[in-house]
């Protein structure tokens, strides 16, 4: 215990030393300035700011019409020459100190209503204690660097019994500084548990679904941001330069570390915000999500990121849509249309994602058939001033309700059992009219024997197979207008 305490103390000292030490760029850029009533176009026309979310050499946020910029005196003078008057907020030789002031405010630390990870876990366990039949808090893995537990909140009626119902996932903070994901996930858990029994929709969803919420995937990185040490921190805290000290830009982008076209995505450069790691699933955090997904076989999931007010869905692969595009695209548009932007004058937009490489949504869809949608919350910053948080949460609760409503169908539920024993078995369920070789064949859940599958209006041919069994071919399968059409299939062992 003493050795562990000493190790933790040394790590914290290393982080603190990193956070206060000036970087090479901080000597050049020593001014934090604010520009009011400015547009993105006006800043871009100066040629100084490219608005690259991963380039922190010129730290830029633009929330509504207020920009916070870290600049050199010469850059500030150039902005003034081009008609962009600024207010000096802070001058310091430490770049990270200026960024902390920009993101955390005058107190230089994260403010309410944001939550640190222990607060989030504690609230989940409070809900579990109050509603033991509805909530179960489970550990799905441990972080790569500090070995912290990654928790999921499982919500369902008779939650500790494996019922044959569709499963959905909500996750947040794969990128640790995108804090709205944790806040929206926690708010979703609160809504679904506390309104059960009084809100008819919520009650029907908790009764009819298994909902798994992972508020924070990147726990170590989230700690760095919420502790007030470094608001830039995007990746996990893997010591990528091997110096035994946590210093920016250490870490691996866990949302470039999934094993789906891994080599073509992110970058192999460790200093990049998109560093994909040394090999696929090198990191515990994405492995935890993958293991959870294999165990649960999610029908649908939402992963919260920031920012852009856009929904990304699978996929645009060299100009080709996903095999299930006829179902996924309308679903994504419905989700986007239900979430109002921060300005309130329109809704989010939906676009097929072009990043098919090492990210969660192509892995979940391409490997397991899960319709995973990326929700980029808010506009103008990785995380937002405290007074903006509740509005973004409220807007996204409409999205949560839209997703859960869609998770009730329409589609088919193929239930496969062994003809001799009657036991549920895992079998491949293939719809050749839809599926291509870009995606893996979908299978029934090994525990329940059921695959829930969204479908366009039929008829469809469905092929059910398992090694050692005779293949069944069903024709004329048509999904209902609502709900799930249950199809009972028995497979007989092949005679040799």
Q: How many CA atoms lie within 13 A of 81 on its CB side?
A: 8
- Rounded to whole angstroms, how far apart are CA atoms 44 and 14? 37
Report the relative pairing of strands 66-71 and 31-35 from DSSP bridges.
antiparallel
- Min mean pLDDT across 28-37, 219-228, 416-425 is at 28-37
Q: Is the pLDDT of residue 56 over 70?
A: no
Q: What is the mean pLDDT of residues 191-195?
A: 98
Show the tokens assigned to 175: 């990128």
- Rounded to whole angstroms, how far apart are CA atoms 221 and 255? 13
Which has more pLDDT, 263 or 243? 243
Q: What is the mean pLDDT of residues 223-232?
A: 95
495: Cβ contacts below 8 Å, ≥ 6 apart:
none
pLDDT of residue 57: 55
- Rounded to whole angstroms, how far apart are CA atoms 257 and 277? 6
Show the tokens assigned to 210: 């298994």
200-208 and 386-406 helices, crossing angle to 10°? 60
CB atoms within 10 A of CB 31: 18
CB 121 within 8 A of CB 396: no
Query: Residue 215 — pLDDT band, cuts 50, 70, 90?
Result: very high
pLDDT of residue 89: 98
Domain 117-406: homologous superfamily in CATH: Zn peptidases (3.40.630.10)
Which has more pLDDT, 50 or 434? 434
φ, ψ dihedrals at 17, nearest 5°: -60, -40
Tens digit of each residue's pLDDT (9 = 90 or more) over 8-54:
333 433 444 344 333 434 347 899 999 999 998 888 888 777 665 55
- Rounded to whole angstroms, how far apart are CA atoms 68 and 63? 9
Domain locations in the chain as residue ranges: 2-103, 117-406, 411-491
The rounded mean pLDDT for the chain is 91
- Residue (of 473, 268, 493, 449) closest to 358 by Cα position: 268
- Rounded to whole angstroms, how far apart are CA atoms 377 and 302? 12
- Residue (of 53, 47, 48) closest to 70 by Cα position: 48
Strand partners, 172: 304
- Min mean pLDDT across 47-61, 105-119, 263-277, 303-317 is at 47-61
Q: What is the mean pLDDT of residues 403-413?
A: 96
Q: Domain 2-103 - what CATH class?
A: alpha beta
Tens digit of each residue's pLDDT (9 = 90 or more) over 343-371:
999 999 999 998 667 899 999 999 999 99
Give me the percent of the chain exceeding a pLDDT of 70. Answer: 92
- Residue (of 295, 235, 283, 234) closest to 259 by Cα position: 283
Tens digit of each residue's pLDDT (9 = 90 or more) over 283-330:
999 999 999 999 999 999 999 999 999 999 999 988 899 999 999 999
Q: What is the CA radius of gyration of the chain?
A: 24
Q: Where are the alpha helices (DSSP H) in 271-364?
A: 284-296, 325-337, 360-363
CB 456 within 8 A of CB 327: yes
pLDDT of residue 14: 41
What is 411-491's CATH topology? Immunoglobulin-like (2.60.40)
CB 280 within 8 A of CB 266: no
- Min mean pLDDT across 114-118, 255-259, 352-356, 364-368 is at 352-356
CB 153 within 8 A of CB 169: no
Torsion of CA 68, 74, 75, 76, to 10 degrees: 40
Coil, strand, or helix at residue 155?
strand
Q: What is the mean pLDDT of residues 235-252?
A: 93
- Rounded to whole angstroms, how far apart are CA atoms 464 and 167? 21
- Rounded to whole angstroms, how far apart are CA atoms 309 and 389? 14
């Amino acid at each position: 215990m003493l050795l562990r305490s000493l190790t933790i103390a040394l790590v914290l000292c290393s982080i603190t030393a990193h956070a206060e030490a000036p970087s090479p760029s901080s000597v050049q850029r020593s001014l934090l300035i604010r520009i009011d009533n400015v547009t993105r176009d006006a800043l871009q026309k100066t040629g100084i700011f490219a608005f690259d979310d991963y380039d922190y050499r010129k730290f830029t946020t633009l929330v509504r019409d207020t920009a916070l910029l870290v600049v050199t005196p010469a850059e500030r003078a150039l902005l003034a020459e081009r008609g962009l008057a600024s207010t000096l907020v802070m001058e310091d030789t430490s770049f990270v100190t200026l960024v902390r002031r920009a993101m955390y405010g005058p107190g230089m630390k994260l403010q309410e209503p944001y939550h640190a990870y222990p607060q989030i876990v504690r609230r989940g366990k409070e809900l579990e204690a109050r509603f033991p039949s509805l909530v179960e808090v489970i550990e799905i893995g441990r972080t790569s660097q500090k070995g912290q537990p990654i928790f999921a909140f499982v919500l369902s009626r008779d939650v500790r019994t494996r019922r044959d119902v569709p499963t959905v996932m909500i996750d947040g903070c794969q990128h640790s500084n995108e804090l709205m994901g944790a806040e929206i996930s926690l708010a979703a858990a609160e809504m679904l548990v506390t309104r059960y029994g009084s809100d008819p929709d919520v009650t029907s969803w908790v009764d009819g679904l298994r909902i798994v919420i992972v508020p924070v995937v990147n726990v170590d990185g989230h700690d760095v941001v919420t502790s007030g040490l470094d608001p830039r921190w995007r990746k996990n805290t893997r010591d990528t330069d091997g110096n035994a000290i946590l210093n920016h830009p250490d870490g691996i982008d866990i949302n470039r570390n999934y094993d789906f076209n891994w080599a073509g995505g992110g970058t192999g450069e460790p200093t990049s915000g998109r560093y994909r790691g040394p090999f696929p699933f090198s990191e515990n955090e994405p492995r935890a999500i993958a293991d959870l997904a294999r165990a649960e076989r999610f029908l649908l999931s939402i992963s919260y990121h920031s920012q852009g007010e856009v929904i990304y869905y699978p996929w645009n692969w060299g100009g080709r849509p996903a095999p299930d595009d006829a179902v996924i695209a309308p679903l994504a548009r419905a989700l986007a249309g239900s979430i109002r932007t921060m300005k309130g004058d329109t809704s989010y937009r939906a676009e097929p994602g072009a990043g098919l490489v090492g990210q969660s949504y192509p892995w979940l869809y391409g490997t397991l058939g899960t319709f995973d949608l990326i929700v980029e919350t808010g506009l103008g910053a990785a995380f937002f001033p405290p007074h903006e948080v509740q509005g973004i949460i409220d807007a996204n609760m409409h999205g949560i309700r839209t997703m859960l409503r869609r998770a009730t169908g329409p589609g088919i539920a193929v239930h496969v059992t062994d003809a001799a024993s009657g036991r549920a078995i895992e079998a491949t369920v293939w719809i050749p009219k839809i599926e291509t070789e870009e995606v893996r064949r979908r299978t029934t859940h090994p525990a329940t024997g059921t695959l829930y599958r969204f479908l366009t209006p039929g008829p469809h041919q469905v092929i059910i197979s398992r090694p050692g069994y005779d293949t069944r071919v069903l024709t004329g399968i048509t999904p209902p207008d609502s709900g799930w059409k249950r199809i009972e299939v028995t497979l007989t062992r092949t005679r040799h």
